Amino acid sequence: MYKCIIYDEENNRKVLKLDIDSEYEVYSYADKNRFKVVDIKELKSLFKGRKLKNKDLKVFSKEMSILLKSGCEISKILRILINESKDKVRIVLKKILGDIERGNSIKESFENTKAFSNFYISMIAAGEMSGNLDDVMDKLAIYYDKENKLNNKIISILIYPTILIITMIISFIFILLFLIPNFEDIYADNNMKTPGLTKILILISHLLRDDFLLIIIVNLILVCGLIYLKKSNDKFNEMLNKLLFKLPIVKTYMKLIISNKFIKALSILISSGIQIVDSIETSAKVMSNEYIYFKICKANELIKKGNSIGDSLKTVEELPSLLLSMITIGEESGKLDTVLNTVTEYYENELDSKLEIGTKYFENFITLVIGVAVGIIVISMMVPMFDAVSAI
């Protein structure tokens, strides 16, 4: 939810509260209504930050699917799940049950909790309208199972390199704080001349020892500031994501990850009977990437004006050409949902393969960096001693 100060067409100042998900949507709303936005502030709601995890969504969706197929009525299903669920999920389900018993639709009841993504709500709405909520829940269970596995895989892949990097940083700090001062005393006691690199290491050691607390505080402030900006500022996230797509190696993995998320969501939405323009906008949000989201929304505007899906999405350079070609083929043949299912499987396998290969290279690179850095430090600290021995 956002609170914004606007000026209407008659230049009257107004304060609005909009129940939408991003600053981009605030500006879109303002453009449609010919408002001028002068200030935006995100409001924290009761359920803000209480989005259910992929693991919870997978389990909940699967259980809902099984119980719906057994012929249970929705209120009874929710009561069963409330008794079986853990605290966070139980709170959400109780709110859903209360809303349904007050006469709200299933879609509205899920939406009011603020615990589900737009993607999930769109799927619920499609299932409710078509009468195939059990099949939709089954698709959601499969989708979130894949998402959970992908996230776990990425985390497990990053654990070892992260440990290596942390170990490297701690080792360097230890060397700079405790070992280099001892060498410095040896140089001073024996009137040894120190080369440029050795002097630089001694200078860094002095800075670290003299201002250690200040350096820690400054770094903590920087980290906290970046975290705050990432959580609260869409423009910052857009700039950060844009930067990641400029980095030579990182952009390859970014393209694969966003393509995987986009095509997987688009496939399941279209196969559930949701209109293409709505499916594309919802799929863009699933990627959690503001930079790509804005670009896909612009492409979606072209589709609304009558342009083909494939040609419109070509304006998003970050989407792979193979994906765009397959979408064009599916659109022309009238079998877009079938083509999307095939492409989804291909990109899942491609991402798995690239992640495994990339991890091995990254681990080797980090190990090499540590070895080279330690070697440089050792050589730079030993050179004055070798020079002194040679001079005897």
pLDDT of res. 61: 93
Q: Are residues 213 and 340 in the same domain?
A: yes
Mean pLDDT of the chain: 85
In this prediction, what percent of the chain has a pLDDT beyond 90?
21
Region 304-333: mean pLDDT is: 91
Do 146 and 173 fall into the same domain? yes
Angle ∠(153,158,159) on CA atoms, nearest 5? 100
Q: With beta carbons less than 8 A apart as the criterion, state whether 15 and 4 touch.
A: yes
Summarised one tens digit per residue, pLDDT across range 79-111 is 999 988 887 888 899 889 988 988 889 999 998
Residue bearing the bigger pLDDT, 45 or 286: 286
- In 3D space, the residue among 259, 380, 278 whose CA is nearest the CA of residue 317 turns out to be 259
Of the candidates 173, 167, 182, which has an alpha carbon nearest to the alpha carbon of residue 207?
173
Same domain for 229 and 165: yes
pLDDT range class, residue 49, cuts 50, 70, 90: very low
- For residues 95 and 102, what is the distance between their CA atoms, to the nearest angstrom? 11
Q: What pLDDT is recorded for position 309?
A: 92
Whether 48 is in a domain gets the answer: no
Residue 268 and residue 338 in one domain = yes
Residue 266 has pLDDT above 80, yes or no: yes
pLDDT recorded at residue 389: 65
Residue range 197-226: mean pLDDT, rounded:
89
Mean pLDDT of the region 273-287: 87
Confidence at residue 33, expressed as pLDDT on a 0 to 100 scale:
81
153: Cα within 13 Å, side-chain hemisphere = 17
> Is residue 126 a part of any domain in this protein?
no
* 210 and 306, same domain (yes or no): yes
pLDDT in the model for residue 67: 93
In a domain, 218, yes or no: yes
Task: Report pLDDT for 29.
Answer: 78
- Asked if residue 60 and residue 37 are part of one domain, the reply reads no
Residue 226 lies in a domain: yes
Q: What is the mean pLDDT of residues 24-35?
A: 76
Q: Are residues 149 and 192 in the same domain?
A: yes
Whole-angstrom distance, CA of residue 360 vs CA of residue 180: 33
pLDDT value of residue 9: 78
Q: For residue range 150-195, what is the model confidence (pLDDT) as tens digits?
A: 888 888 888 888 888 888 888 888 888 888 888 888 888 877 888 8
pLDDT at 39 over 90: no
Whether 83 maps to a domain, the answer reads yes
Range of the domain at 100: 54-116
Q: 219 and 300 share a domain?
A: yes
Q: Is residue 375 part of a domain?
A: yes
Are 339 and 220 part of one and the same domain? yes
Q: Is 123 domain-assigned?
A: no
Q: Which residues pair with 40 in a beta bridge?
A: 4
Say if residues 276 and 258 touch (Cβ distance below 8 Å).
no
Task: Look at residue 50 in the predicted model and tell me its pLDDT.
Answer: 65
185 lies in a domain?
yes
CATH code for position 160: 1.20.81.30
Q: Which residues pair with 4 in a beta bridge?
A: 16, 40
**Spatial contact of 303 and 312, defined as CB atoms under 8 Å apart:** yes
- Report the candidate in 237, 267, 241, 266 with the shortest Cα–Cα distance to residue 255: 241
328 with 219, same domain: the answer is: yes
> In the prediction, which pLDDT does 47 show?
44
pLDDT value of position 46: 42
Specify the pLDDT at position 329.
93
In this prediction, residues 337-360 reach a mean pLDDT of 87
Number of domains present in the structure of the chain: 3
Q: Are residues 143 and 283 in the same domain?
A: yes
Contact 87, 72 (CB under 8 A): no
Does the structure show a pLDDT above 70 at 273? yes
Q: Is residue 107 domain-shared with residue 158, that is, in the same domain?
A: no
